[in-house]
Amino acid sequence: VVGHPLFAAEAVPWQLPAGPFDGLLAGSGAAFRLGGEGLASLTSLPVYAVGDATAKAARAAGFTVARTGEGGLQQLLDGVAGARLRFLRLAGEARVGLTPHPGQSVIERVVYRMAPVPIGSDFADEILRSKPIVALHSAAAAAHFGQEVERLGIARRELALLALGSRIAEAAGPGWAALHIAERPSDAALLAKAVALCK
């Protein structure tokens, strides 16, 4: 596995809204790595984390994780439907909209942004032109990767993609040699699919 960053996370100034809150919704570990001083007063709140990596980042920052999802933040809200809960969502500048259930409310604060990173020509020549299977973890990454491939003059039909979920596959757009989707939105499922495709 050869990795290449497509984005660099940057902190965004933010102010803590008036509470109280029953929990934190977190869609990325970047919220805990870049949230800054405002996080210190929130460590008593249970975290509802989008996945294992986000949960790990929350624990490393001193938080307790109440739930870890596998299908996005909306799934976490669905899982506690019927409970009267007020959430603070620590989010990135680009984020998926949520639909709270009756009795739920979500207050959002943007605490980071993801700045696109260009793919270097050396990486393109050494890795991408060797026709690898490209694994993509987010819709933003899929869209940016497509733009970079075109900028570098690499034909989409030369590359096979492996997406963590269907929304990511849709964001990648058409024209690839193949477009596969992991059985479940988890790193383990993504790697298992990659192993199968490489055989």
Over residues 126-136, the pLDDT tens digits come to 999 998 999 99
Per-residue model confidence (pLDDT) at position 157: 94
Ranges of the chain with pLDDT below 70: none
Per-residue model confidence (pLDDT) at position 86: 97
Per-residue model confidence (pLDDT) at position 197: 85
Per-residue model confidence (pLDDT) at position 146: 95
SS (H, E, C) the chain: CCCCCCEEEEECCCCCCCCCCCEEEECCCHHHHHCHHHHHHHCCCCEEECCHHHHHHHHHCCCCEEEECCCCHHHHHHHCCCCCEEEEEEEECCCCCCCCCCCEEEEEEEEEEEEECCCCHHHHHHCHHHCCEEEECCHHHHHHHHHHHHHCCCCHHHCEEEECCHHHHHHHCCCCCEEEECCCCCHHHHHHHHHHHHC
Report field, pTM of the whole predicted structure over 0.95: no
Per-residue model confidence (pLDDT) at position 138: 86
Per-residue model confidence (pLDDT) at position 111: 96
